[in-house]
Structure formats: structure tokens, C-alpha cells
Structure 1
Amino acid sequence: MAHATKFALLGLTLMLAACRSDPIHYHTLIPQQPVPVNSVDVQLEMISVPPQVDRPQLVIRQSNSSLAILETEWWGASLADELQNALINQFSSNSAQPGMGLRVDVQRFDSVPGQYALFDARWRLRAAGGSDAGALNCRSVIQTPAGGTIEELVVAHQQNIKRFTEQVSQAARGGASRCPAVH
């Protein structure tokens, strides 16, 4: 009987060890440091992202034709919601100026650990409540070197979002008359 109990305990221990999974790590595109308040009022109207990357798990590029979904590295929400929250956070304003409406269509959101984070988006800026006829249509392609860890990759994406909001703010301050120069 003692052997049966030992085998039962050993079997139970092995089963529990086999069921254990690696912990999930959650990441956000909102930086830890507060963002300075913008002098222009930009309201995010819409954002779209490619369906390949619009999921809670981080998706990384492994080669020219291969993607990997990281099952233990997750965004705090879907990527579209993370981007929306990050942009709203960056565009918070106390401005009394009339607002501008922004639509963002992300073309590529590449994550390559140890190499770079890429944000490629077409965007439209117009006076809030204005017609599409007077809208400014631009494209931003922003790439930031990234370290080999997922944390460093996420920080590179945060920097891309900050640079993107600076470009949009520059266009808004200029009356949405021309796309910002990209350096």
C-alpha cells in the first residue's frame, strides 16, 4: 500500500509539473514617464492595424517570410487598443485651440528583436468637424533600433509612437497645410 501511495504522489506531481506553463508578461505602449502636454488639440477619430499583428500576443518577424506569435508576451490589450490608448495619452492637451481630427491607418508594425521596431502609417488630419476635402493626407515611416529583449523592443515601439505624435503635432501646429519633413 505504501508503494501505491508513493506512485500516486509521484504521478500527481508529474501531472502538475506538466500542466504548469510559463508566466505571461504584459506590455504597454504607454511610457512610464508622463508625456508633456501638447499645445495642439488632436482627437483620434479612428485607428486600424494589419490583422496579422492585431492580437493580444506580441508578433515578431523572424525572417522575410516568417512571423512568430509569442504566447507568453502579451500587450495589455489588442494592438489596436494599445495604439489607441498610447496616442490618446500622447495627444492629451489643455489647448483652447479648435481641435484637429486624426485617422491613422497602420500599414506595418514590425517587431524584430535585436534589430528594430518599425511603425509605418498613413494618416489624415483635418479640422474637427471639417470635411475630408480640406484634409491633409500624410505618411510616416519610423524605425528605431531595438535591443535583443522584448522589453527593449517595446521601448523602441514607444519611441516610435512618440516620434509619430511629434510629426502629427507639427502638422497640426502648421494648420494642417503640409506634411511634416521627416529627418
Structure 2
Amino acid sequence: MAFPLKFTLVTALLLLAACRSDPIQFHTLTPAQVGDHSRTTVGVIQIESISVPPQVDRAQIVIRQGNSGLAILETEWWGATLVDELNSALADQLSNYPAQSGYSVRVDVQRFDSVPGQYALMDVKWRLRSAGESEPARVICRSTLQTPSGPSIDELVLAQQNNIKRLAALISQAAARKQAGCLMPVN
């Protein structure tokens, strides 16, 4: 009688072990801050809205595979929705560049590609205007930002953080310039 009980217990343990799933890893587009956190938000460019393509508008990280494939990574998630992650990260980066007067920006992400071992790419249309709702746009620009990436998801996230940092610099430079115009991204 001891043998069937042991066999049943071992079988149950094996079945339970087979049902175990990998833990979910969470990632953020807001880089870790080092140094003084007492930045002022006076004069900072406000974010009106951010939109992203529906293919990547999910909690899980989406990567490109080949020329036409997408993979939804079930164990690699954003810390919040992708729109919220982009909003937080861009607001954080824009706070590094206090504007002379009140501006707001609307961001429409056309492409948000992540290709392990190759690159992270953001193709973004953005509109900068004075903070008053009735003001016309100061500039309407399109920026394509691409950063090389290593094969890991952490490296892809860091590359996208770099793209956001570069986008914030472009928006801030456009706000600071006397003459309205779009600047080309700098690698």
C-alpha cells in the first residue's frame, strides 16, 4: 500500500511542477535618477496627450520578429500601460529642460519598434504650442529616433529610454529657439 501512495504523491508533485509559469518581469521607460531630485516644474513643457500604435498598446512588451512578425512577450511587461510609461518618461526628461515660457506638446507615436540584438526605434509626430488652448502650433515635427540595442529586453528598454531622452531634447530645443522649426535628431 505504501507504493501506490508514494506513486500518487510523486505524480501530483510532477503535475504541479509542470503547471508552474515563469515570473513576470516589469520594465519602465523612466530611467533611474542619480543625484538631486529637487527639480522645479515651473516653466516645464506640459504634455497634452500621447498616442501609440494599437499593435504595441498593451501591458506586455511587443517585439518585432523578421520582416512581418510580432511577438507579445508574456513574461516581460511594462510597469504601466505603454502610453502611461511614455508619458511619465517624457515628462521626467522634459523636466531636465525648463522652458522659458509655457508650452505644451502633443505626441503621436507612429512606430514603436523593438528588435532584440538590433535596435529600438520611435517614429514620432509631435506638435509644440504655447500653453494657451487657442494658440496655433509653434511647430509640427516628425522625428525618427533609432538606438542600437543588445539582445536582452533590458537592453531594448534602455535603448527606448535613450530615444525618449533624445525626443525630449528636440522638443525642448524647439521651445527655446527664437525661430520656429524642427531640428534633426542627433545620435
TM-score calculated relative to the size of structure 1? 0.91
Aligned-partner Cα distance in 1 for 2:35–2:95: 9
* Residue equivalent to 1:21: 21
Compare 127-136 and 42-51 and name the one that shifted more: 127-136
Question: Is 1:78 aligned to residue 77 of structure 2?
Answer: no
SS of 2:132's partner is coil
Of 143, 147, 162, the match for 2:146: 143
Aligned-partner Cα distance in 2 for 1:83–1:35: 22
Q: CA deviation at 1:130?
A: 4.3
Question: Is 1:33 aligned to residue 36 of structure 2?
Answer: no
What is the CA deviation profile of residues 111-132 of structure 1, one whole-angstrom value per residue up to 9, with x for unaligned ones? 0000000011000000001435
**Runs of at least 4 residues of structure 1 off by over 6 A?**
none
Compare 121-130 and 29-38 and name the one that shifted more: 29-38
Cα contact 1:109–1:120 (8 A) shared by 2: yes
SS of 2:136's partner is helix
Query: What residue ranges of structure 1 are gaps of 5+ in the alignment?
Result: none
Aligned-partner Cα distance in 2 for 1:35–1:155: 19
Q: CA deviation at 1:93?
A: 6.1
Cα contact 2:145–2:185 (8 A) shared by 1: no
Aligned-partner Cα distance in 2 for 1:34–1:94: 16
Letter in 1 for 2:28: T
Q: CA deviation at 1:61?
A: 0.3
* Residue equivalent to 1:69: 72
Cα contact 1:125–1:176 (8 A) shared by 2: no
Cα contact 1:56–1:74 (8 A) shared by 2: yes
Aligned-partner Cα distance in 1 for 2:100–2:6: 75
Aligned-partner Cα distance in 1 for 2:99–2:160: 30
CA 1:48 to 1:172, structure 2 compared with 1: closer, same or farther past 3 Å? same
Cα contact 2:120–2:156 (8 A) shared by 1: yes
Query: What residue ranges of structure 2 are gaps of 5+ in the alignment?
Result: none
Same amino acid, percent of matched pairs? 58
* Residue equivalent to 1:10: 10
What is the CA deviation profile of residues 71-117 of structure 1, one whole-angstrom value per residue up to 9, with x for unaligned ones? 11111011111101101111226958431010000000000000000
Aligned-partner Cα distance in 2 for 1:122–1:47: 10
Letter in 1 for 2:146: Q
What is the CA deviation profile of residues 37-70 of structure 1, one whole-angstrom value per residue up to 9, with x for unaligned ones? 5995200010000010011111000011100001
Aligned-partner Cα distance in 1 for 2:13–2:158: 39
Aligned-residue CA RMSD (Å): 2.2
Aligned pair count?
Answer: 183
CA 1:46 to 1:95, structure 2 compared with 1: closer, same or farther past 3 Å? same
TM-score calculated relative to the size of structure 2? 0.89
Question: Is 1:165 aligned to residue 138 of structure 2?
Answer: no
